[in-house]
Chain A
Amino acid sequence: MSSRICERSRRPSPKLPERTDTLPPLNPLDPAGAPHPPHLIECRGLSFAYGRSRVLDDVSFAVHRGESLCVIGPNGGGKSTLAKLVLGLLEPTAGQLTVLGKSPREARTALGYVPQAMRFDPQFPIAALDIVLMGRLNHLKVGAFSKKCREIARAALDEVGLSGYEKRPFSDLSGGERQRVMVARALACEPEILLLDEPTANIDLSIEAQLLETLAALRHRMTILMITHDLDLVSSIGDSVLCVNHRVHRHSLPLSGETIKEIYSSRRRLEHDRRARDQHGDPCLCDHD
């Protein structure tokens, strides 16, 4: 469905602009002098390319504290690349990206990342608690995890409704339980931002309901950035939607009929704006809230 929302452009990408460091400084303190930046994630003129293949082009957006932002878009549109940039796994080709006012690499430990559970070896011999404890790895030097780390991991399992699953082998868990263990692992990081990559991919509807319940409870106490193809999840969890297809469109939720119409016409707008930029060098089209 989302591929109709913003379909990938097949036009050849124009040459990337040179990396610029002349943008104004990001994340000034708020007028009250609060120690926290107003935006947890702030992205300005961000571009990224794998070699000559441009994936993100002059992307700008911000994620506010306490917000649940859902990232949707077609495969190959740059959603996962955006997540990797936020995690500091990739370096931008151009533009600026800050997480909690720092570089993504510096802010890594403040993020709880939930990858797709399907990418793991389902037969890997590991218990649920040991997976959740991985969220505490940055507190472990050598040997065993501390008692405090184990308590935090148990509390995280409890929070996702898997109390009593500590010793359950990963191979014995259902798809939904595995995904909730991954959410618990992210919570064990005690994150300020929860970043989820397609949490409902490849799990059936009954299991999805359990996961939705878990995420709905979490959205009230932390900032969520979620990549998804699932529009039900978007409407249940999201405050707003970022449509990524090399560039970005931002929409508020709930989506009105007019907005849905606008989203569905975004392909034409993306094409139009890209063409306009190619011809006139106009870098507009972002943050249209």
Chain B
Amino acid sequence: MTDFFADFIDAVKTVPLIRYALLAGIVSSLTFGVVGSLVVVRQIGYVASAIAHSILGGIGASVYYSRVYDLPWLTPMLGAIAASLLSVAVIGWATLKFKEREDTIIGAIWAAGMAAGLLFLHYAPGKAVNLESFIFGNILLTSKSDVIATLILGVIVMSLVALFYHKLVAVSFDEEFAGLRGVSSKAYYFLLLTLTALSVVLMVRVAGLILSQALLILPAATASRFSRSLWAIMAGAVAITALANTAGLALSYQYDIPTGPFIVFLAVVFYALSFLLRRKRA
């Protein structure tokens, strides 16, 4: 066991890829823990999933247009951000406008995003795109600039939550009453969806499109089984996400396991354990 930790610490010190991956995992935990908790208490996990999947459309479009029109600045990350914000606009508008059909509309956006992404990537000129790295992520490809971008995005997300915490909570608890006290429930619903979208984009590098929403939701859901205040859930979710990221990275490095899926697998294990522990306590 001592050797295992010594090996991992040695790798963190000497291998920049591992160091950046660890930093990205820890920094992104702040965002996921906080936003994931809001997503869980607001019960919009399926909306987060739809946003995550629709991002593929943006990634595909950015790869296609950057190659066809020689636009090197049009990176997949930029495409992912644009697609996530577009899906926030469409999903937010659709859920507020057609409440009774929101699940169908969200399902359609989910599928449309993925289909568009696959079509764009299929017709993109040049060498074939490694689709797997977008779908399942590869935290080991994290660069120094990725860590800085993650940190900046994290600071933006955390600042917005700190500034509007009470209003976000009020809208999640009692939308009607918050509206009567002058808080626009629509505006804060869009804010929450935007925070969710930005968090998911952040997570694409770590866990990919398919698994990112699991990492957003599972740690917060795990923490919510033991905490009865939102602050405690947020703190717990941050700790669980950081633990899953770090342990997942260390174990996958040691035993040569695909890192992204293994991090998510650990998050699932923690969630399952929470049921056993909670039952024991009860």
Contact A140 B167 (CB under 8 A): yes
What CA separation (Å) do A121 and B233 show in the bound complex? Answer: 16
Contact B41 A125 (CB under 8 A): yes
Known contacts A125-B41, A125-B229; A137/B176 CB under 8 A: no
In the bound complex, residues from chain A placing their C-beta under 8 Å from that of B178 are 134, 137
Is B142 part of the contact surface with A, judged by Cβ < 8 Å?
no
Known contacts A125-B227, A171-B228; A115/B176 CB under 8 A: yes
In the bound complex, residues from chain B placing their C-beta under 8 Å from that of A136 are 181
Chain A nearest CB from B4 CB (Å) reads: 36
| Interface 9-mer from B99-107, B123-131, B158-166, B210-218 | B158-166
Is B1 part of the contact surface with A, judged by Cβ < 8 Å?
no
Contact B181 A172 (CB under 8 A): no
When the two chains form the complex, which single residue of B164, B173, B228, B232 contacts A134, counting CB atoms closer than 8 Å? B173
Is A50 part of the contact surface with B, judged by Cβ < 8 Å?
no
Contact A113 B180 (CB under 8 A): yes
Interface string of B171-203 (1 = CB under 8 A from A): 011101111111100000000000000000000
What CA separation (Å) do A134 and B170 show in the bound complex? Answer: 7
Is B169 part of the contact surface with A, judged by Cβ < 8 Å?
yes
Residue of B nearest to A114 (CB): B177
When the two chains form the complex, which single residue of B163, B167, B169, B179 contacts A126, counting CB atoms closer than 8 Å? B169
Is A142 part of the contact surface with B, judged by Cβ < 8 Å?
yes
Interface string of B36-53 (1 = CB under 8 A from A): 000001010000000000
In the bound complex, residues from chain B placing their C-beta under 8 Å from that of A143 are 162-163
Is A45 part of the contact surface with B, judged by Cβ < 8 Å?
no
Chain B nearest CB from A162 CB (Å) reads: 17
Known contacts A130-B169, A133-B166, A142-B163; A120/B174 CB under 8 A: yes
Interface string of A131-153 (1 = CB under 8 A from B): 10111111010111100000000
Contact A172 B180 (CB under 8 A): no
Is B230 part of the contact surface with A, judged by Cβ < 8 Å?
yes
Known contacts A125-B233, A127-B229, A169-B229; A138/B181 CB under 8 A: yes
In the bound complex, residues from chain B placing their C-beta under 8 Å from that of A135 are 181
In the bound complex, residues from chain A placing their C-beta under 8 Å from that of B170 are 134, 137
Contact A138 B182 (CB under 8 A): yes
Is A111 part of the contact surface with B, judged by Cβ < 8 Å?
yes
Residue of A nearest to B234 (CB): A125
Contact B173 A111 (CB under 8 A): no
Contact B229 A137 (CB under 8 A): no
Is B224 part of the contact surface with A, judged by Cβ < 8 Å?
yes
In the bound complex, residues from chain A placing their C-beta under 8 Å from that of B181 are 108-109, 134-138, 189
Contact B183 A131 (CB under 8 A): no
In the bound complex, residues from chain B placing their C-beta under 8 Å from that of A131 are 173
In the bound complex, residues from chain B placing their C-beta under 8 Å from that of A169 are 228-229
What CA separation (Å) do A185 and B178 show in the bound complex? Answer: 11
Chain A, interface SS category: mixed
Known contacts A130-B169, A143-B162, A172-B228; A108/B180 CB under 8 A: yes
Is A231 part of the contact surface with B, judged by Cβ < 8 Å?
no
In the bound complex, residues from chain B placing their C-beta under 8 Å from that of A109 are 180-182
Is A87 part of the contact surface with B, judged by Cβ < 8 Å?
yes
Is A217 part of the contact surface with B, judged by Cβ < 8 Å?
no
Chain A nearest CB from B273 CB (Å) reads: 20
Interface string of A96-140 (1 = CB under 8 A from B): 000000000000110101010000110011110011011111101
Interface string of A173-217 (1 = CB under 8 A from B): 000000000000100010000000000000000000000000000
What CA separation (Å) do A145 and B174 show in the bound complex? Answer: 18
Chain B nearest CB from A174 CB (Å) reads: 15
Contact B230 A125 (CB under 8 A): yes
In the bound complex, residues from chain B placing their C-beta under 8 Å from that of A115 are 174, 176-177
Is A89 part of the contact surface with B, judged by Cβ < 8 Å?
yes
Chain B nearest CB from A141 CB (Å) reads: 9
In the bound complex, residues from chain A placing their C-beta under 8 Å from that of B229 are 125-127, 169
Chain A nearest CB from B282 CB (Å) reads: 14
In the bound complex, residues from chain B placing their C-beta under 8 Å from that of A108 are 180-182
Chain B nearest CB from A225 CB (Å) reads: 14
What CA separation (Å) do A189 and B166 show in the bound complex? Answer: 16
Residue of B nearest to A185 (CB): B177
Chain A nearest CB from B81 CB (Å) reads: 25
In the bound complex, residues from chain A placing their C-beta under 8 Å from that of B232 are 125
What CA separation (Å) do A63 and B166 show in the bound complex? Answer: 34
Contact A113 B166 (CB under 8 A): no
What CA separation (Å) do A96 and B229 show in the bound complex? Answer: 44
In the bound complex, residues from chain B placing their C-beta under 8 Å from that of A133 are 166
What CA separation (Å) do A41 and B93 show in the bound complex? Answer: 35
What CA separation (Å) do A121 and B228 show in the bound complex? Answer: 13
When the two chains form the complex, which single residue of A87, A89, A137 contacts B182, counting CB atoms closer than 8 Å? A137
What CA separation (Å) do A43 and B123 show in the bound complex? Answer: 65
Interface string of A1-25 (1 = CB under 8 A from B): 0000000000000000000000000
Select the residue from A108, A134, A171 with max chain B CB neighbours within 10 A.
Answer: A134
What CA separation (Å) do A111 and B180 show in the bound complex? Answer: 9
What CA separation (Å) do A124 and B228 show in the bound complex? Answer: 8
Supplied contacts A115-B174, A124-B41, 5 more A-B pairs, CB within 8 Å: A109-B182, A113-B180, A124-B172, A125-B228, A134-B166
Can you sample 6 A-B contacts with CB below 8 Å?
Answer: A113-B180, A120-B173, A130-B169, A134-B166, A142-B164, A189-B181
